[in-house]
Amino acid sequence: MSEVRTLVIDGKDVAATSDQSVLSAAKENGIRIPTLCHLDGLSDVGACRLCMVEVDGSPKLFPACATKVEEAMVVRTTSERLAEYRKTVIELFFVERNHVCAVCVANNNCELQEQARSLGLTHFDLAGLHPSIAVDASHERFVLDQNRCILCTRCVRVCDEIEGAHTWDIQGRGVNARLVSDLGTPWGSSTTCTSCGKCVQVCPTGALFEKGRSVAEPKARRPYLPYLVEKQRLGHD
Amino acid sequence: MPVDYETLAAAGSIMGSGGMIVMDDTACMVDVAKFFMDFCREESCGKCLPCRVGTEEMYRLLDRISSGRAARAHLGQLEKLAAMVKATSLCGLGQGAPNPVFSTLRYFRDEYLAHIDDRVCPAGICQISVEPWRVPVAVPVGAEAPSDGVSQ
């Protein structure tokens, strides 16, 4: 049974249930915390570290998506330090792979680009890693371009938790981590993929996209979001 | 120095598995920091961003400094990134990865500056790049630019 918890987020008194995350409690009260790997309706992994918040009484920062609310918690979602760290998070995403907005299908419809814009990131100080990564266009309808992948694992989770196929997973570690289908075989020859397209609709960047779309054309339709929202609601009851 | 958790933490170190590495004055502290960062980037699992990319970027910055291809701005970048990776990483590996950078900078900053300003490795360990290294300098609008457009 979940119980009611009262806490303070950005000076605002907030009530939430004990199984809610700080992120979900903040959202319900109109407090926006930037996120990338989080998607309502999917499990949280706390991988992108963009939603880090300060909690009174601890020198540590906490990922709002993966931290449950606690009684009498005092949370701050914005500070000079957090703003600087969040900018660096976005900068690290950009320098990790080969993100070229001008020739990307997701241009102007990209969550990474949008976060950079809203956080006021104008240039990069760090050197790009420029990995050499092949594009997998073997699937009949979709393309995987790892140059734009930020390893948020939304596709992995939606495929596993909603579609139940678990076609996607991560192979390799550190900067060599790559998204793979069916233990590293081309997407087109996958025997588990149902071609449902959920992964394409939840991808925050242009890493997964439909064939035949030109630069900046597609808008994520997320037709499966009602299922995700319903699942999240059931999880709370 | 007593070998207990509190004392080691205060000195910027950790107990780990209780191992100890003894170095004398012939070790280069930039090289030592680079060695530990190489280990961390190799061991990073890649789940969270700051550790995955941050350790790799810090390694590249340390490599730049040790090979005499760095400006003071790169040292600033390294310190800024190290603080961010320590504060935002998901597990102990990423949170501890910047520690050798912090402790070598705290006690041996002069060795970093020798690599950067003088392009010299005081211990004679690091291979200094043969090519002279100079960075283009960004000048605020209205300010006077250096005559050759670059700074050391």
Predicted ipTM of the assembly: 0.90
Residues of A in contact with B84 (CB under 8 A): 84-85, 88-89
Mean predicted lDDT score pLDDT of chain B: 90
Q: What is the pLDDT of residues B119-150, one digit of tens each?
A: 999 999 999 987 766 666 666 777 776 665 55
Hey, of A81, A126, A154, A180, which one would you mutate to test binding to chain B, going by the most B CBs within 10 A of its CB? A126
Q: What is the mean predicted confidence (pLDDT) over B7-15?
A: 86
**Cβ-proximal residues to A178 (8 Å cutoff; 6+ apart), any chain:** A133, A146, A149, A170, A171, A172
Q: What is the pLDDT of residues B27-57, one digit of tens each?
A: 999 999 999 999 999 999 999 999 999 999 9
Helix (H) or strand (E) holding A87: helix A80-96
Task: List residues of A whose CB lies inside 8 A of any B CB.
Answer: 45-49, 52, 60-61, 63, 81, 84-85, 88-89, 92-93, 95-96, 125-127, 129, 150-151, 170, 172-177
Q: Does B119 touch chain A (CB under 8 A)?
A: no
Within chain A, how many helices (H) and strands (E) appear? 6, 10
pTM, two decimal places: 0.89
Residue-wise over A80-107: b if at least 16 C-beta within 10 A, else e? Answer: eebeebbbbbbbbbbbbbbbebeebbbb
**Cβ-proximal residues to A102 (8 Å cutoff; 6+ apart), any chain:** A215
Q: Running along chain A, 237 residues long, what does each successive block of 10 average in pLDDT?
A: 92 96 96 95 95 96 97 97 97 96 91 95 92 96 96 97 96 96 95 95 94 76 64 57
